[in-house]
Amino acid sequence: MSETAAGALFTLSLAVALAAVHRPFGNYLYRVVAGTRHTRVERGVYRLVGVEPTAEQSWGVYARSLLAFSAVSVLFLYAFLRLQNHLWLSLGFGPVVAHGAWNTAVSFVTNTNWQWYPGESTMGHLVQMAGLAVQNFVSAAVGIAVAVVLVRGFARRRTGDLGNFWVDLTRITLRILLPMSVLAAIVLMIGGVVQNLSAGTDVSTLTGGGQTVTGGPVASQEAIKDLGTNGGGFYNANSAHPFENPTAWTNWLQIFLLLVIPFSLPRVFGRMVGQVRQGYAVAAVMAVLAIASVTLTNAFELAGNGTVPHAVGAALEGKEVRFGVPDSATFAAATTLTSTGSVNSSHDSYTALGGMMTMGNMMLGEVAPGGVGAGLYGMLVLAVVTVFVAGLMVGRTPEYVGKKIGSREIKLASLFFLVSPALALVGTASAFATGNDATALNVGPHALSEVLYAFTSASNNNGSAFAGLVAGTPWWNTALGVCMLLGRFLPIVFVLALAGSLARQQPTPASEGTLPTDRPLFVGMVVGVTVILVALTFLPALALGPLAEGL
């Protein structure tokens, strides 16, 4: 079979698996977030935390609980990183430098998992599993919770009640993320992923050299890294490392894991608003964008344009033999279409246009299908913008699933959309203004790409990198930390506020003039609005970077 045909089958098999799973799995997710029963373990957790699980929260109270939890998480993780040398299993590594600890604490709490450090020579096993991996779970749960609140805003009527943050957090973690991670970790161990507490085994190689075969609780962290669209690798090489991703089929499984929750959440939306077709429409928008992006990334990488790929005969620099070019490209597209940011190949060495695709995926706002939760709420905001644009054209008050999109709603939606482009572009400009672009490894347009990629990744909470950039300096760690923090929590507050204002409304029954939002026409309009918004925002920056390099 040719490389291209095998790559096409690889993508197709993923699409088929996701199409088969998203309904039953989405139904399960729906039962978890909409149910009223509390298990005994959960009741125990609520007692220990000291919260009343039946108490409903307004959007403001929900937001304050979420922000308090995240603030405490940042401080806790910061302290953990600074004190790791005093703790068990530190492997002799010293405390993480202050600006680095700030960056990493923010990075993992915001579900970004941008890593300025090489894992195998910076982090002890305890800080990896009890510090970083815990945030992999809870930051993912926070994202899903926010999406659920927005959906409640559409589904509920004339109320301020939007659920309870502590209940959502606990349920999503214990009923969805934990059991699936256990399962995934076991399968990954069967594939060859390591899971031990060893500090490493020194071996003497065949030709008499020395090699330290590293250890670590990798499988347990790898599972939630993918499932929670986190992406922070245990090792520097992330999912390219044979101990994180040993075979071609674990590679398939990892891509599946990072797409499965985001693609199943639209089903939750459809069920909760009582119109499953609305959920299908949202999933269809995600699928159209994702398939287009995966296809283009594969096409650019397989075409292998550029001086070095031409000299080599393939775009194989920074790719592993066991994955090959197409499966690496599919992973790269999937990791940037979600907010994962783990990598199984070096995006920096991609062809100019292939690398641009990974950047473009993030610039889309990571909505196709996006990070766990973040993808759904991002897509619903885009749907709101789309009905507004369509409403302007025909001169009617826009509405979406029965809720009117008035001036307050559209203001919140616009603010939501503006945050990450503003952070990414202002950040990139300030790096050049202050001379901090000098830490880029490459020169010319590719250096601009490295800087632009870093800020796009941080502002959209992706976490992947054009890794040639040396980002471990005080300026970079501080600036990217600020972008990650604002890029995560400002949009979340806007979404919660939007949910609050939607939930207060009495739904308007659909009339003659209502734009049907569950038809292919609407799907096409949302795709169009998404692509046009991104093109208008980022085209000038892309023209100076990857387009200048690749055309």
Partner 1 sequence: MRLPTWLAVHLAALRALLVLTVLLGLAYPLATVAVGRMPGLADNTGGSLVTVDGRAVGSTLIGQSFTDAGGNPVPRYFQSRPSAAGDGYDPTSTGASNLGPESVVDTIATEPAESRPSLLTRVCARSKAVGELDGVDGRRPYCTADGVGAVLAVFRRDGLTGPVTRVVSVNQVAPAVPFLASYQGVPVELARPGEDYVSAGGLVTPIRGDAPAEPAVPADAVTASASGLDPHISPAYAEIQVTRVARERDADPAAVRRLVREYTTGRVLGFMGSPGVNVLELNLALDERFPVR
* Residues 150-169 close enough to bind partner 1 by CB under 8 A: 166, 169
For partner 1, which stretch binds (CB under 8 A), given 114-122, 423-431, 493-501, 523-531?
Answer: 114-122
The answer to whether 473 contacts partner 1 (rule: CB under 8 A) is no
The answer to whether 295 contacts partner 1 (rule: CB under 8 A) is no
DSSP state of 444: T
The answer to whether 73 contacts partner 1 (rule: CB under 8 A) is yes
Shorter beta-carbon distance to partner 1: residue 276 or 302: 302
- Residues 171-210, interacting with partner 1 (CB under 8 A): 173-174, 178, 181-182, 185-186, 189-198, 200-201, 203-209
The answer to whether 443 contacts partner 1 (rule: CB under 8 A) is yes
- Residues 405-434, interacting with partner 1 (CB under 8 A): none
Q: Tell me the chain's radius of gyration from C-alpha atoms.
A: 22
Whether residue 214 contacts residue 121, with contact meaning beta carbons closer than 8 Å, is answered with no
The rounded distance, in Å, linking the Cα atoms of 249 and 252 is 5
Q: Which of 446, 451, 418, 423 is nearest to 435 (CA)?
A: 451
The answer to whether 56 contacts partner 1 (rule: CB under 8 A) is no
Shorter beta-carbon distance to partner 1: residue 206 or 394: 206
For partner 1, the binding residue among 124, 153, 215, 481 (CB under 8 A) is 215
The answer to whether 519 contacts partner 1 (rule: CB under 8 A) is no
For partner 1, the binding residue among 84, 110, 220, 457 (CB under 8 A) is 220
The answer to whether 13 contacts partner 1 (rule: CB under 8 A) is yes
The answer to whether 24 contacts partner 1 (rule: CB under 8 A) is no
Decide: helix, strand or coil at residue 6.
helix
Rounded to 5 degrees, φ, ψ at 203 are -125, 160
The answer to whether 324 contacts partner 1 (rule: CB under 8 A) is yes
For partner 1, the binding residue among 16, 19, 20, 49 (CB under 8 A) is 49
The answer to whether 535 contacts partner 1 (rule: CB under 8 A) is no
Shorter beta-carbon distance to partner 1: residue 219 or 525: 219
Burial of 503 (0-12, 13-18, 19+ CB in 10 A): buried
The rounded distance, in Å, linking the Cα atoms of 372 and 340 is 9
The rounded distance, in Å, linking the Cα atoms of 417 and 381 is 8
For partner 1, the binding residue among 212, 434, 506, 508 (CB under 8 A) is 212
Q: How many residues bind partner 1 (CB under 8 A)?
A: 125
The rounded distance, in Å, linking the Cα atoms of 125 and 109 is 18
Q: What contacts 202, CB < 8 A, 6 or more positions away?
A: 210, 211, 212, 213
The answer to whether 130 contacts partner 1 (rule: CB under 8 A) is yes
The answer to whether 370 contacts partner 1 (rule: CB under 8 A) is no
The rounded distance, in Å, linking the Cα atoms of 425 and 486 is 14
The rounded distance, in Å, linking the Cα atoms of 261 and 25 is 8
For partner 1, which stretch binds (CB under 8 A), given 31-39, 212-220, 287-295, 473-481?
Answer: 212-220
For partner 1, which stretch binds (CB under 8 A), given 152-160, 248-256, 272-280, 366-374?
Answer: 248-256
For partner 1, the binding residue among 22, 171, 241, 267 (CB under 8 A) is 241
Residues paired with residue 201 on neighbouring β-strands, in sequence order: 213
Shorter beta-carbon distance to partner 1: residue 444 or 516: 444
For partner 1, which stretch binds (CB under 8 A), given 62-70, 269-277, 362-370, 474-482?
Answer: 62-70
Q: How far is the CB of 542 from partner 1 (least distance, A)?
A: 15
For partner 1, the binding residue among 321, 393, 394, 551 (CB under 8 A) is 321
The answer to whether 300 contacts partner 1 (rule: CB under 8 A) is no
Shorter beta-carbon distance to partner 1: residue 33 or 387: 33
Whether residue 145 contacts residue 165, with contact meaning beta carbons closer than 8 Å, is answered with yes
Shorter beta-carbon distance to partner 1: residue 316 or 374: 316
Whether residue 128 contacts residue 216, with contact meaning beta carbons closer than 8 Å, is answered with yes
Shorter beta-carbon distance to partner 1: residue 103 or 181: 181
The rounded distance, in Å, linking the Cα atoms of 59 and 353 is 42
- Residues 327-366, interacting with partner 1 (CB under 8 A): 327-328, 343-346, 348-352, 355
Burial of 194 (0-12, 13-18, 19+ CB in 10 A): buried
List the end-to-end C-alpha distance of the chain, in Å, as a whole number.
31
Shorter beta-carbon distance to partner 1: residue 39 or 397: 39
For partner 1, the binding residue among 4, 39, 54, 211 (CB under 8 A) is 211
Rounded to 5 degrees, φ, ψ at 210 are -105, 150
The answer to whether 34 contacts partner 1 (rule: CB under 8 A) is no
The answer to whether 394 contacts partner 1 (rule: CB under 8 A) is no
For partner 1, the binding residue among 19, 20, 308, 521 (CB under 8 A) is 308
Q: How far is the CB of 5 from partner 1 (least distance, A)?
A: 8
The answer to whether 85 contacts partner 1 (rule: CB under 8 A) is no
For partner 1, which stretch binds (CB under 8 A), given 4-12, 383-391, 417-425, 528-536?
Answer: 4-12
The rounded distance, in Å, linking the Cα atoms of 251 and 239 is 8
Residue 546, Cβ neighbours under 10 Å: how many?
27
Shorter beta-carbon distance to partner 1: residue 93 or 404: 93
Whether residue 339 contacts residue 463, with contact meaning beta carbons closer than 8 Å, is answered with yes
Decide: helix, strand or coil at residue 367.
coil
Q: What contacts 413, CB < 8 A, 6 or more positions away?
A: 381, 384, 385, 388, 405, 494, 498
Burial of 10 (0-12, 13-18, 19+ CB in 10 A): buried
* β-strand pairing of 210-213 with 399-400: unpaired
